[in-house]
Structure 1
Amino acid sequence: MAELLSLREAVERFIQDGDTVALEGFTHLIPTAAAHEIVRQNKQELTLVRMTPDLVYDLLIGAGCAKKLIFSWGGNPGVGSLHRLRDAVEKQWPQPLEIEEHSHADLANAYVAGASGLPFAVLRAYAGSDLPKVNPLIKSVTCPFTGEVLAAVPSVRPDVTVIHAQKADRKGNVLIQGILGVQKEAALAAKRCIVTVEEIVDELNAPMNACVLPTWALTAVCRVAGGAHPSYAHGYYERDNRFYQAWDPIARDREAFSGWIDSYIRGTADFAEFKQKLAGEAK
């Protein structure tokens, strides 16, 4: 059953050094506030999993929290490269980063397998691809019924999954609306799941066919209004495109990045104070 906690307490209690952590959310509902709190608490030696690493993982990698990245695409959407990711891979700064690359279909199926309690996922993929040459975990199996050769990859079973959503009720049930990525599968595949939400309400009033994560599948629910910024939260606020553009020059330079992290994340008490600081300097 999910506990209603502050984000600080949830990260302190449920994310440990050396954990495999998935922060998921596709296009919107990206759990930025949780990534900030992981940096504030200086969690170390994390294996990070995400289908589309973007700014949240550039932050965590540049801050020295990560030892490995399992992913299927990485970049600053609509802008360009993740410079802290590149610096870690190419020049081992601030420390070496191991990478494990998959396709989108591969990693999505690996989450489904993890949520299903299966050891691996099977999919029809990688014909003509060179990716299996650089990822030895992509293997092949022969179907016992048809003889067809299929791709197989290990399931993803994070120690902790972190997602953002619109609402939770006071029992800890969570409603996700809008575009869904693999949040549901990532949550169900994990040993522990932290959800940040825009608001906590008495009743979810979930529409028909909505995605509702039950309290028994979650570990902690934390109210963090605006916690997906600079991505958007469907029905609450829009994407901050200027932030994505501004991130490029900040992340390109090690000193600029380190100064930004020290000022805006380590120098703030929580995500609310971060947003206040950001808004104040934008005036």
Structure 2
Amino acid sequence: MARIASLAQAVSEVVHDGDTVAFEGFTHLIPFAAGHEVIRQRRRGLTLVRMTPDLIYDQLIGAGCATRLVFSWGGNPGVGSLHRFRDAVSNDWPVHLELEEHSHAGMANRYVAGASGLPFAVMRGYVGTDLPGQTSNIAPITCPFTGEVLTAVPALKLDAAVIHAQRADRQGNVQLWGITGVQKEAVLCASRSLVTVEEIVDELDPRPGAIVLPTWAVDYVAVAPGGAHPSYAQGYSVRDNDYYRAWDEIGRDREEFNRWLDNHIFNPAPGEVRA
């Protein structure tokens, strides 16, 4: 059964040093507030997992929280590179970052296998590419029925999954809708999970295409209005495009990034709720 707690308490219970953790969201419902709390709590040695690491992973990497990244694409969407990510890979600043790269399909299949309790997933997408030669977690497998050579990827087994959703009820049932990625699968393949939400409501009403995560599948729910900013939560907020553009200059320079950490994460101005 999900427990409703403060963001600080929920993060302290769910994300631990050395964990393999996913902060999932696909352009929408990205759990920035939870990621910022992880930085505030100075978690270290994390293996970060995500299909599309963007600004929140740049911030976690730059803050020294991560030593490994498992991913399928990384960048500042619509703008360019992630400079803290690049600095860690190229210059080991602030620490060395190990990489494991997959395709989107490879990552999605790994999530589904983990959520399904299977040891691996099988796909065609890697055949003929050079990724199997670069990534140890990709292996050929022969179909026992047709003899066709396919590719196997191991299921993702997360210590923790963190997502953002529009709302939950008072029993901890979570509802999200709009553009969804692999949030459901991330929660189901994790040992511990945290969902930040825009609000707690008395009752969830039907929404077209909505996903409902039942309370028994979630460990913690924390109310974090605007918790997806600068991404958006359909029905509650819009994407802050200026933030994404501004991040290019902030993330490019180490001193500017450290000032951002001090001013917006560790010592935010009174009343500031969306770092």
What do the CA deviations read for 1:231-270 (whole angstroms, capped 9, x no partner)? 0110111100000000000000000001111110011399
1:84-95 equivalences in 2 (<5 Å): 84-95=84-95
Q: Deviations over 1:119-147 (max 9, x none)?
A: 11111111221111111211110011111
Residues in 1 aligned to 2:237 and 2:137: alpha-carbon distance in whole angstroms:
40
Contact 1:174–1:212, Cα closer than 8 Å, also in 2: yes
Query: Structure 2: which amino acid aligns with 1:10?
Result: A
1:14 match? 14
Q: Which residue of 2 aligns with 1:268?
A: 268
* Counterpart position of 1:142: 142
Partner of 1:222, secondary structure, is: strand
Alignment of 1:101-140 (within 5 A): 101-140=101-140
In 2: Cα distance, 1:254 partner to 1:48 partner: 21
| Contact 1:72/1:103, CA 8 A, preserved across alignment | yes
CA distance in structure 2 between the partners assigned to 1:176 and 1:75 by the alignment: 25
| Percent of matched pairs sharing the same residue | 64
Asked if 2 retains the 8 angstrom alpha-carbon contact of 1:265 and 1:274, the reply is no
Provide the secondary structure at the position in 2 that maps to 1:64. Answer: coil
1:163-202 residue pairs with structure 2 within 5 A?
163-202=163-202
Q: Look up the equivalent residue of 1:72 and give its one-letter code.
A: S
Runs of 4+ in 1 over 6 A off after TM superposition: none
Q: For the residues of structure 1 that align with 2:34 and 2:272, how far apart are their CA atoms? A: 14
Aligned residue number for residue 26 of structure 2: 26
**Contact 1:175/1:210 (CA < 8 Å) preserved in 2?**
yes
- CA drift of 1:209 comes to 4.7
Contact 1:175 1:206 in 2 (8 A): no
- Hey, what's the Cα distance between the residues in 1 that align with 2:208 and 2:237? 23
Distance in 1 between the 2:57 and 2:210 partners?
Answer: 28
Q: Give the secondary structure class of the aligned counterpart of 2:53.
A: coil
Equivalent residue number for residue 46 of structure 1:
46
Instruction: After TM superposition, give the deviation of residue 273 of structure 1 in Å.
Output: 2.6
Residues 28, 228 of structure 2: 8 Å contact kept = yes
Q: Which string of whole-angstrom CA distances, capped at 9 and with x for unpartnered residues, describes residues 47-106 of structure 1? A: 000000000000000000001000000000000000000000010000100000000000
Moved more, 29-38 or 136-145: 136-145
Letter in 2 for 1:255: E
Matches within 5 A, 1:195-234: 195-207=195-207, 209-234=209-234
Task: Report the alpha carbon displacement of residue 153 of structure 1 after superposing the two structures with TM.
Answer: 0.8
Most deviating of 69-78 and 135-144: 135-144
Is this contact kept in 2: 1:170–1:201, CA < 8 A? Answer: yes
Q: Which runs of 5+ in 2 are unaligned?
A: none
Deviations 1:147-179 (A, max 9, x none): 111111111111000000001000000001101
The aligned residue for residue 235 of structure 2 is: 235
> Within 1, Cα distance between the matches of 2:273 and 2:255?
20
Please list every run of 5 or more consecutive structure 1 residues that lacks an aligned counterpart in the other structure.
279-283
- By how many angstroms is 1:180 displaced? 1.1
Aligned to 1:153: 153
Matched residue, 1:281: none
Say which SS state the counterpart of residue 191 (structure 1) adopts. strand
TM-score (norm 1): 0.95
Which secondary structure does the structure 1 equivalent of 2:151 belong to? Answer: strand
Contact 2:127 2:151 in 1 (8 A): no
Q: TM-score, normalised by structure 2?
A: 0.98
Q: What do the CA deviations read for 1:157-208 (whole angstroms, capped 9, x no partner)?
A: 1100000000100000000110110001111111111000000000011235
Equivalent pair of 2:167/2:197 in contact (CA under 8 Å): yes
What SS does the aligned partner of 2:158 have?
A: coil
Please say if residues 167 and 200 of structure 1, whose CA atoms lie closer than 8 Å, have aligned partners that are also in contact: yes
2-structure distance, mates of 1:161, 1:116: 16
